[in-house]
Structure 1
Amino acid sequence: MAQDTAQQAPTAPATPARALLPLILPALVVGVGASLLLLGVEAAAEQLQDVLWQDLPDALGVGRYSALWMLVVLTSTGVLVGLVVWKVPGHAGPDPATIGLNAPVLPPAVLPGLLLATALMLAGGPSLGPENPVIAVNAGLAFWLGRRLFPRSPGEGWVALAEAATIGALFGTPVAAALIVSEALAGRAVRGPLWDSVFAPLAAGAAGAITTTVVAEPAFDLHLPPFGQPGWSDLLAALVVASVAALLGMCAVHAFPYVHGGFARLRHPMLALPVGGLVLGLLGALGGHLTLFKGLEEVEELARDPDGWSAGEFTTMAVVKLAALVVAASCGFRGGRIFPSVFVGTAFGLGAHALVPAVQPALGVAAGVLGVLLAITRQGWVSLFTAAVLVSSPAILALLCIASLPAWLLVTGRPQMQLRADGTSVR
C-alpha cells in the first residue's frame, strides 16, 4: 500500500487566491470589450442588411426575396468581400477553411479588413455566423494590447480570455465559454485544479455575457410546445434523430474539401467569392429566404409554426442550408459555422416531427441540432449546451446525453470541417 502511494504522481498545488485576484480586472475588461465589439459588428451589419434587403428592393420595385434579388445581392456581396480580401491590407486573414474557433493570433493590421469582410458577409446573406472572425479579432486585439500593457504576461492567457469572452457574449451566458475552455484544457497537461485554469476565462465569459444581456437582451429559447415526461419512445426518437442528423452533417464534412478545392482552382478572390455568391443566390432561390443569413432569426420563424411546413419542405430547407454553409465556408467568406448548423438541425428535427408526429417538436429540434453540431464542430459540450438551451427543458437533457453517444461514435476520428494548408481535412 505504501509502495502504491509512493508511486502516485505528485499533485500540483492549487493556485493561491492572491495569484488569481489580479486576473479579475483584465478578464472583466476583455469580456466587456469583446462583447461590445461583437455587438457593434452585428449592429452595423443589421443596418446594412435593412438597406440591402428592404430599402433598395422597395425603392426599385423588386420583391425583397425574389430569386432575381437574391442573385444580385449575394453575387454583389461576393464582389465586395472579394475586393476586401484582394485589396485591403492583411487580405482579411488566412483562408477561413483552415481555422476553427481557436483562431491564430493575427497581426493588428489584418483585423480591420477581417471585420469589414465579416460585416459585409452578415449583411449580404451568406450562411455563416460571426463567431470565428470575431473571436479572431478579439484574440488579436487582446493579445496586442495585453502584451503592450503587461509585457511579462503570457500571450496565450490573453487569447484564452478573448475566446471565452466572445463565446460568452455570443450565447449570452458564461456556461458555453466554461465548457469550451474545459474541453480545450482536457487535451493539455493542466497543473492544479481545473477551476484555477478556468477562473479568469470564466470571469471574461461572464463579463461578455452580462454585457450582451444588458445591451441586446438575447434569447435562445424557441418557445416550442412543452416537453412532458419522457418515455421509451422519446428515447428512441432522440437516438434516431441525433444519429441521422450527425450523418447528414458528415455528408457536408466529406464534401467540404472537394468544394473548397473547386473554388481554389479559380485562384483569385475576385473570381472565387463572386462565383460563390452566385451559387448561394441560386441555393437561396431554391430553399427560400429562410435559408439565408446566419440563421438565428430564421430559426425563430420556423419555431413559431412547427407544423407550418411539410416534412419535404423542412428537409429541403435543411439540405439547402447545409449546402449553402459548405459553399460559403469554401469560397472564402469569413464566418463561423455554429449558427447555420443550428438552423440545419432545427429544420431537420421539425421535419422528423412532420414525418412522424409522435416525435415531439422540442425533442426533434434538440436532437437534430445536437447531431448536426457534433458533426460540424466536434465540440461535444457546446453541442449539448446549444441543443438544450434552445428548448429549455430539463427533461430533454438526459435524453440528449444518451443520444450524443451513438452520434459521437459516428463522427469521432473522421475528417473534420477544417482543412490543412494543403487542402486535406483535419482529423
Structure 2
Amino acid sequence: MLLPQVLPSLVVGVAASLMFLGIEYVSEEFQVVLWEDLPDALGIGRYSSLWMISMLTATGIAVGLVVWKVPGHSGPDPASEGLGGAPLAPTLVPSLLLATALGLAGGVSLGPENPIIAANIALVYWIGHRLQPSLPGAAWVALASAATIGALFGTPVAAALVLSEALASQQPGRGSLWDRIFAPLVAAGAGALTTQLLAEPSFDIGLPPLTDPGWTDLLAALVIAPAGAVFGLFACYLFPYVHRAFQRLRHPMVMLPLGGLVLGLLGALGGQLTLFKGLEETKELAASVGSWSSGELAKLAVVKLLALLVAASCGFRGGRIFPAVFIGSAFGLLAQALVPEVQPAVAVSSAVLGVLLATTRQGWISLFTGAALAASTPVIALLCVASLPAWLIVTGRPQLELDHEGKSLH
C-alpha cells in the first residue's frame, strides 16, 4: 500500500523544491537589479534613506497593480491565510507568485513560505487529482505541504514535526502515525535533498557553539524565551487594528503603495538589515556579536517587528517565519548585550523560540528553528524546557493570523 506512493511523492518533492528555488532565484536576481545596479546607475546610495523609501513605495505600487489588475488578484487576503490550508484555484497561482517575487525583491519584510506552500498545494492538488483521482485530495495537500516545508528548511525533519502536530488532532483508527506520514516524509526528503544539492542552504548563523550548558544557561533560556514570546505577542495584539486601518482604504492601489511607503520609512529608520525576508540579514547580524549596542539591537528588533506587522496587514504576499527569526535574533542579542554573561547561542535560540511561538503557534517549527540557528545539540534540551513557560504565555492569546472577518484567531 505504501510503496506505490513513493514515486508521486518523489516527483512532488522535487517539483516543490524547484518551485521554491525558482522564485528565490528570480527574486534575488531582481533584488540585485533594484538595490545595486539601478542605484549605482543613478548615482544614488544603495541603501540611502531616499532609495529605501522610494523603492519600497514603488514595490507597494507594483504589488498593488498585480493585486488589482492581474487575473487571480494574488489570492485571498494574506492576513487570513496561515501556513497551508485548503487548495486555491490554480488560476490564482501566477498572480500570487508574481506578487510574492516582487515583494521579496523589493525589500518587504516577509518570507516566501506561505505563498510558496499555497502555490504548490494548488498545483499539486489540481494535477494530482486528475492523474490519480483515487488518491484523496487531502493526501495531495499533505504531500505538497511537506515537500515545500522540507525544501524551505533544507531538511525533512521540520515537515515531519509539523505533520505530527496536524495528524495528532485527527481521529484515530487510520493506521499508525508513521503510516500516515510515510508518503509526505518521502516528499519532504526529496524536497530537502533537491534544495541542498542545488543551493546548499544553512540555518547556521555562525554563533559560538554551546558545548557545556549549565544552570545559568537554563535560567537564561527560561527568562529569554518567555520574554521573546511577550515581545512577539505585541504584533499579534496590534495585527487586527493595523489590518483594519489598511482595509478601510479599500483599494489595493492605495493600501499597498501606502504600506510600501511606511515600510520605506521604517527601513530608513532601522537600516538595510531590517529589509527583505531576514535570513541573510540574521547571519550578518550574528557575524558581529558584541559590536552592536543594546540601543541599536532594540531598534532593529522593534523596527523589524513593525515592518512585519505593516507588511502582513497591507496586503503584501509572504510568510512570517523568516522575519520572525530576525526579530528573535535581534531580541536575543539585545538580551546578551544587557547581560554579557549569557552565551549568544542560548540568547538567540531562546528568543527565536519565543518569538516564533507567539507569531506562528507552531511548537515543533519553533523548537527546530531555534536549535538549527545555534547549530548545537546541547541547546535542544534547554529549548525544550524553555518552551513550556513560553507556550503558557502564548496559548489562547491572539495569533498573527485573522479570520475572514478580520478578527484575531486564538
TM band (smaller chain): over 0.9
Q: Do the aligned partners of 2:225 and 2:390 also contact (CA within 8 Å) in 1?
A: yes
Shift of 1:117: 0.4
**Aligned equivalent of 1:352:** 335
Pairing 1:251–2:263 present: no
Q: Report the AA paired with residue 204 of structure 1.
A: A
Cα shift readout 1:117-162 (whole Å, capped 9, x = no counterpart): 0000100001000000000000000000001111222111101000
- The equivalences for 1:163-182 within 5 A come to 163-182=145-164
**Aligned equivalent of 1:186:** 168
Shift of 1:340: 0.2
**Aligned equivalent of 1:109:** 91
- Structure number with greater Rg is 1
Match of 1:386 among 369, 376, 396: 369
**Aligned equivalent of 2:64:** 82
Query: Matched residues in 2 for 1:128 and 1:119: separation?
Result: 11
Shift of 1:228: 2.8
Query: Matched residues in 1 for 2:55 and 2:344: separation?
Result: 34
Pairing 1:66–2:57 present: no
Q: Report the AA paired with residue 99 of structure 2.
A: A
Pairing 1:218–2:218 present: no
Count of residues in Structure 1 that have an aligned counterpart in Structure 2: 409
Match of 2:255 among 272, 282, 288: 272
Q: Which shows bigger deviation, 104-113 or 338-347?
A: 104-113
Unmatched 5+ stretches in structure 2:
none
Q: Do the aligned partners of 1:129 and 1:338 also contact (CA within 8 Å) in 2?
A: yes
Match of 2:7 among 20, 25, 30: 25
Partner-residue secondary structure (3-state), 1:170: helix
**Aligned equivalent of 2:282:** 299
**Aligned equivalent of 1:312:** 295
Q: Which shows bigger deviation, 394-403 or 373-382?
A: 394-403
Pairing 1:151–2:133 present: yes
Query: Matched residues in 1 for 2:264 and 2:393: separation?
Result: 32
TM-score, with structure 1 as normaliser: 0.95
Q: Do the aligned partners of 1:238 and 1:363 also contact (CA within 8 Å) in 2?
A: yes
TM-score, with structure 2 as normaliser: 0.99
**Aligned equivalent of 1:13:** none
**Aligned equivalent of 1:335:** 318
Q: Report the AA paired with residue 55 of structure 1.
A: D
Query: Matched residues in 2 for 1:361 and 1:246: separation?
Result: 18
Cα shift readout 1:9-54 (whole Å, capped 9, x = no counterpart): xxxxxxxxxx000011000000000000100000000110000000
Shift of 1:363: 0.6
Partner-residue secondary structure (3-state), 1:394: coil
Q: Do the aligned partners of 2:31 and 2:105 also contact (CA within 8 Å) in 1?
A: yes
**Aligned equivalent of 1:240:** 223
Partner-residue secondary structure (3-state), 2:184: helix
Match of 1:47 among 22, 29, 41: 29
Partner-residue secondary structure (3-state), 2:249: coil
Shift of 1:103: 2.7
Shift of 1:104: 2.4
**Aligned equivalent of 1:34:** 16
Shift of 1:414: 1.2
**Aligned equivalent of 1:4:** none
Query: Matched residues in 2 for 1:215 and 1:21: separation?
Result: 27
The runs of at least 4 aligned residues of structure 1 exceeding 6 Å deviation read none
Q: Report the AA paired with residue 353 of structure 2.
A: L
Query: Matched residues in 2 for 1:118 and 1:223: separation?
Result: 29
Q: Do the aligned partners of 1:81 and 1:333 also contact (CA within 8 Å) in 2?
A: yes
Partner-residue secondary structure (3-state), 1:102: coil
Query: Matched residues in 2 for 1:227 and 1:146: separation?
Result: 45
Percentage identity across paired residues of the two chains: 67
Q: Do the aligned partners of 1:374 and 1:380 also contact (CA within 8 Å) in 2?
A: yes
Q: Do the aligned partners of 2:300 and 2:330 also contact (CA within 8 Å) in 1?
A: yes
**Aligned equivalent of 1:10:** none
Query: Matched residues in 2 for 1:205 and 1:368: separation?
Result: 27
Shift of 1:298: 0.3
Unmatched 5+ stretches in structure 1:
1-18
Shift of 1:422: 1.0
Q: Do the aligned partners of 1:90 and 1:109 also contact (CA within 8 Å) in 2?
A: yes
Query: Matched residues in 2 for 1:354 and 1:376: separation?
Result: 24
Query: Matched residues in 1 for 2:224 and 2:36: separation?
Result: 37
**Aligned equivalent of 1:7:** none
**Aligned equivalent of 1:12:** none
